[in-house]
Amino acid sequence: MVRNPSNREQFRPADHDAEHFLLTTVVGSYPKPTWLTRTKTLAEDPESSLDERALAEAQDDAARVITHEHERAGLDTVVDGEMRRDEMVEHFAQRIRGYEFNGPVKVWGHNYYDKPSVVSEVEYDDPWLLEEFEFTAGVASRPVKVPITGPYTLARWAFNEAYDSDAALAYDLADLVNEEVHRLVDAGARYVQLDEPALATTPEEHAIVGECLERIVDGVPDEVRICLHVCYGDYSKLYPAINDFPIDEFDVELCNDGYQQIDVFRDPEFEPDLALGVVDVHDAEVESVPEIKANIEEGLKVVSPDRLSVSPDCGVKLLPREVAYRKLSNMVTAAREIESELDAGEIETAAPNAD
Amino acid sequence: MTELVATTPGLFPLPDWAKSDLADLKGRQKADLISGSESNAVVSTYERARAEVVDEQVDADLDRIVEGQLRWDDMLAHPLTVHDGVETDGIARYYDNNNFYRSPRVVGELARSGDVAAELRAASAVIDDAAPLQAVLPGPYSLADLATDAHYGDDREFLSAIADFLAGEVEAFPEHETLFLLEPSLVESPPDDDVADAVPEAISTVAEATDAEVVVHTYFGALGEKTHAHLMDAAVDALGVDLVADDREQTVYNAVEYGITDDVALGVADGQNTLIESAETLRERVEWFTDQVPMTDFETVYVSSNTELFYLPVNRYREKLAALAAAADLEREVSV
Give every CB contact of residue A106 below 8 A, 6+ residues apart in sequence: A112, B13, B14, B99, B310, B311
| Number of domains present in the structure of chain B | 1
Nearest-CA residue of chain B relative to A158?
B273
pLDDT at A4: 83
Contacts of A157 in chain B (CB under 8 A): 98
Contacts of B275 in chain A (CB under 8 A): 117, 159, 161
Contact B11, B136 (CB under 8 A): yes
B3-6/B300-305 β-pairing: parallel
**Distance between CA atoms of residues A150 and A212, nearest Å:** 9
Q: What is the CATH number of the domain that holds B96?
A: 3.20.20.210
Q: Would you list the DSSP string of B43-85?
A: HHHHHHHHHHHHHHHHHHT-SSB----TT-TTGGGHHHHT-TT
pLDDT at A352: 63
| Number of domains present in the structure of chain A | 1
**Distance between CA atoms of residues B259 and B252, nearest Å:** 10
**Distance between CA atoms of residues A215 and A208, nearest Å:** 11
Contacts of A159 in chain B (CB under 8 A): 272-275
Is some CB atom of chain A closer than 8 A to the CB atom of B32?
Answer: yes
**A2 vs A116, A181, A243, B310, CA distance in Å?**
33, 18, 7, 42
Give every CB contact of residue B142 below 8 A, 6+ residues apart in sequence: B76, B182, B183, B184, B185, B186
Contact: A112, B30; criterion CB under 8 Å = no
CA angle B45, B103, B314 (to 5 degrees): 40
Contact: B274, A103; criterion CB under 8 Å = no
**B93 vs A192, A201, A206, A237, CA distance in Å?**
30, 9, 20, 18
Inside any domain, residue A323: yes
Nearest-CA residue of chain A relative to B30?
A109
**Helix, strand, or coil here: B173?**
coil
pLDDT at B296: 78
Inside any domain, residue B222: yes
Contacts of A106 in chain B (CB under 8 A): 13-14, 99, 310-311
**Distance between CA atoms of residues B224 and B222, nearest Å:** 6
Task: Give the one of B28, B73, B313 whose C-beta lies nearest to A104's C-beta.
Answer: B313
> In chain A, where do the E strands start and end?
23-24, 97-101, 105-108, 111-113, 116-123, 146-149, 159-160, 191-195, 225-230, 249-252, 273-279, 308-312
**Distance between CA atoms of residues B293 and B287, nearest Å:** 10
Contact: B29, A109; criterion CB under 8 Å = yes
Contacts of B27 in chain A (CB under 8 A): 110
Side chain identity at residue B249, one-letter code: E
**Distance between CA atoms of residues A20 and A168, nearest Å:** 43
Contact: A105, B91; criterion CB under 8 Å = no
Contact A277, A311 (CB under 8 A): yes
What's the pLDDT tens digit per position in A256-295?
A: 889 999 999 999 999 999 999 999 998 999 999 999 999 9
β-sheet with A97-101: strand ranges across: A97-101, A116-123, A159-160
Task: Give the one of B23, B28, B314 whose C-beta lies nearest to A103's C-beta.
Answer: B314
Residue ranges of chain A with pLDDT lower than 70? 351-355
Inside any domain, residue B335: no
For residue A48, what are the domain limits? 5-84+128-343
Q: Which of A32, A128, A127, A40 is nearest to A80 (CA)?
A: A32
Contact A118, A96 (CB under 8 A): no
A111-113/A105-108 β-pairing: antiparallel
Inside any domain, residue B336: no
**Distance between CA atoms of residues B183 and B320, nearest Å:** 21
Inside any domain, residue A273: yes
For residue B276, give how far its alpha carbon lies from the nearest alpha carbon of chain A (Å): 9
For residue A88, give how far its alpha carbon lies from the nearest alpha carbon of chain B (Å): 14
CA angle B126, B210, B136 (to 5 degrees): 50
> In chain B, where do the E strands start and end?
3-6, 86-93, 100-106, 134-138, 148-149, 178-182, 213-217, 238-242, 263-269, 300-305
pLDDT at B299: 95
Is some CB atom of chain A closer than 8 A to the CB atom of B93?
Answer: yes
Predicted TM-score of the model (pTM): 0.91
Confidence grade of residue B332 (pLDDT, cut at 50, 70, 90): very low
Inside any domain, residue B43: yes
Contact B283, B323 (CB under 8 A): no
**Distance between CA atoms of residues A82 and B298, nearest Å:** 57
Contact B102, B34 (CB under 8 A): no
Is some CB atom of chain A closer than 8 A to the CB atom of B35?
Answer: no
pLDDT at A119: 98
Burial of A295 (0-12, 13-18, 19+ CB in 10 A): buried
Mutate to test the interface with B, among A41, A100, A110 (most CBs of B within 10 A): A110
Mean pLDDT score of chain B: 95
pLDDT at A282: 87
Whether B334 has a pLDDT exceeding 50, the answer reads no
For residue B273, give how far its alpha carbon lies from the nearest alpha carbon of chain A (Å): 5
Nearest-CA residue of chain B relative to A198?
B98
Task: Give the one of A107, A157, A198 whose C-beta lies nearest to B100's C-beta.
Answer: A107
Contact: A157, B98; criterion CB under 8 Å = yes
Inside any domain, residue B141: yes
Give every CB contact of residue A53 below 8 A, 6+ residues apart in sequence: none
Contact: A102, B16; criterion CB under 8 Å = no
Task: Give the one of B28, B96, B274 whose C-beta lies nearest to A117's C-beta.
Answer: B274
Contacts of A202 in chain B (CB under 8 A): 96
Whether B89 has a pLDDT exceeding 90, the answer reads no
Q: Would you list the DSSP string of A273-301?
A: EEEEEEE-SS--SPPPHHHHHHHHHHHTT
CA angle B249, B252, B256 (to 5 degrees): 140
What's the pLDDT tens digit per position in B30-75?
A: 888 888 889 999 999 999 999 999 999 999 999 999 999 999 999 9
Contacts of B96 in chain A (CB under 8 A): 201-202
Contacts of B13 in chain A (CB under 8 A): 105-106
Please give the share of chain B, as a percent, with pLDDT higher than 70. 98
Task: Give the one of B73, B275, B315 whose C-beta lies nearest to A109's C-beta.
Answer: B73
Inside any domain, residue B157: yes
Inside any domain, residue A178: yes
For residue B96, give how far its alpha carbon lies from the nearest alpha carbon of chain A (Å): 8
Inside any domain, residue B147: yes
Inside any domain, residue A272: yes
Whether B121 has a pLDDT exceeding 90, the answer reads yes
CA angle A121, A124, A126 (to 5 degrees): 140
For residue B134, what are the domain limits? 3-329
Q: For B6-35, give one letter per residue: b (16+ CB within 10 A) or e.
A: bbbbbbbbbbeebbebbbebbeeeeeebbe
Q: Which of B162, B156, B264, B158 is nearest to B205 (CA)?
A: B162
Contact: B313, A105; criterion CB under 8 Å = yes
pLDDT at A262: 96
Is some CB atom of chain A closer than 8 A to the CB atom of B275?
Answer: yes
**Distance between CA atoms of residues A157 and A93, nearest Å:** 10
Beta bridge partners of A264: none
Q: What is the CATH number of the domain that holds A12?
A: 3.20.20.210
Inside any domain, residue B276: yes
